[in-house]
A and B are shown apart, each in its own frame.
Chain A
Amino acid sequence: MKSSARRAVIPVFSVFLVLLVLTVAEIAVVKTAGVPRGQLITALVLMALAKASLVLIFFMHLGRESRGLKLTVLTPFALPAGYALTLIAEAAWRLGR
């Protein structure tokens, strides 16, 4: 394998290991008794978002793309993210009354 290819492949295995560790951590958190539900959900969502970001940046190479392409890809997700935050805020307000 050429050295440039090797340089490109090494981070892939590092990312693979991190993804593996995060998946195991997710299972461990779910199976740990006594974790408050809110903290459990927050931890799971953060780990899922971290894994998704790793795939997007390193496997899909978005980190190496031009600024314009990055913005084109990421900007549309402000809509569902904003909608999700609105729904979560509404549910928190409704349940807290």
Chain B
Amino acid sequence: MTTNSAVTTQDPAARAWPAERLAGRASALKLGMWVFLISDALTFSGLLLAYGVLRAGSARWWQEGEPALGINFTAGLTFLLICSSVTMVLAVAAAQQGESRREAAARYLYLTVLGGLLFLVGQVHEYFGGPGPGLIARGLVFGHSARATTFYLITSFHALHVLTGVIILLVTLGRTAWSWRQGVDADVIEAVGLFWHFVDLVWILVFTFVYLIPT
């Protein structure tokens, strides 16, 4: 079955193609995004499994002189990403209402971008500090220990996804604000939304495995 009746009735392509037995009326764009997300999720799975294997096999995971990770601060970043996921859902819902809700869709996309940018600023602050020293200045240096290396590898790979998401969202925001193709843009915003929620989903797991599980 299709995910949204508003899209199928407004999108000429969706009207022309009958529902497919396995994928319903999901657009090629959406199916492509799901396939990409599956491959990306398996990459993250590999990273987290490697992290788990290294950590479980390490006689001394936390090296002397290395700082603790800021759980409260990172919980704030987690809250920020969850909020941006909510604004993304609202943007998709508004886009699927059609031209009449275009401004609302653009407004929610803008808020989602803002959430992503704030998350990135928070991550940079965590790494490099200011005001006050960051993790690197306090002794958690890439390459100096398995804990430090896996921490930076996983969190920076995730941050790269957030940055990519922000760029894609900005492009989509521009398209939504300055031009509108009925039905088609709703599909694009939905596909971008899938990517953004995936970034949130991965962070939920990273937050638990890297930050919360005690040594």
Chain A residues within 8 Å of B, Cβ to Cβ: 1-2, 4-5, 8-9, 12-13, 16, 19-20, 23, 26-27, 30, 37, 40-41, 44-45, 47-48, 51-52, 55-56, 59-61, 64-69, 72-73, 76-77, 79-80, 83-84, 87, 91
Q: Is the CB of B88 closer than 8 A to any CB of chain A?
A: yes
Contact pattern, B 162-201, Cβ under 8 Å of A = 1, otherwise 0: 0000000000000000000000000000000110011011
**Inter-chain contact A69/B93, CB cutoff 8 Å:** no
**Inter-chain contact A2/B97, CB cutoff 8 Å:** yes
Give the contacting residue for A12; candidates B6, B45, B90; CB below 8 A. Answer: B90
Residues of B contacting A: mostly? helix
Q: Is the CB of B78 closer than 8 A to any CB of chain A?
A: yes
List chain A residues, Cβ under 8 A from B12: none
Assuming the contacts A30-B214, A55-B201, A84-B52, asked whether A23 and B24 have C-beta atoms less than 8 A apart, the reply is: no
List chain B residues, Cβ under 8 A from A16: 82-83, 86
Assuming the contacts A16-B86, A27-B71, asked whether A77 and B41 have C-beta atoms less than 8 A apart, the reply is: yes
**Inter-chain contact B82/A20, CB cutoff 8 Å:** yes
Q: Compute how far the CA of A32 lies from the CA of B197 in the bound complex, rounded to whole angstroms.
A: 30
Closest to B22 in A: A68
Give the contacting residue for B24; candidates A41, A66, A77; CB below 8 A. Answer: A66
**Inter-chain contact B3/A61, CB cutoff 8 Å:** yes
Interface residue count for B (Cβ, 8 Å)?
A: 51
**Inter-chain contact A65/B85, CB cutoff 8 Å:** no
**Inter-chain contact B212/A68, CB cutoff 8 Å:** no
List chain B residues, Cβ under 8 A from A55: 85, 197, 200-201, 204
**Inter-chain contact B85/A41, CB cutoff 8 Å:** no
List chain A residues, Cβ under 8 A from B207: 26, 48
Contact pattern, B 40-74, Cβ under 8 Å of A = 1, otherwise 0: 01100110010011001000000000000001100
Assuming the contacts A41-B213, A64-B3, asked whether A80 and B45 have C-beta atoms less than 8 A apart, the reply is: yes
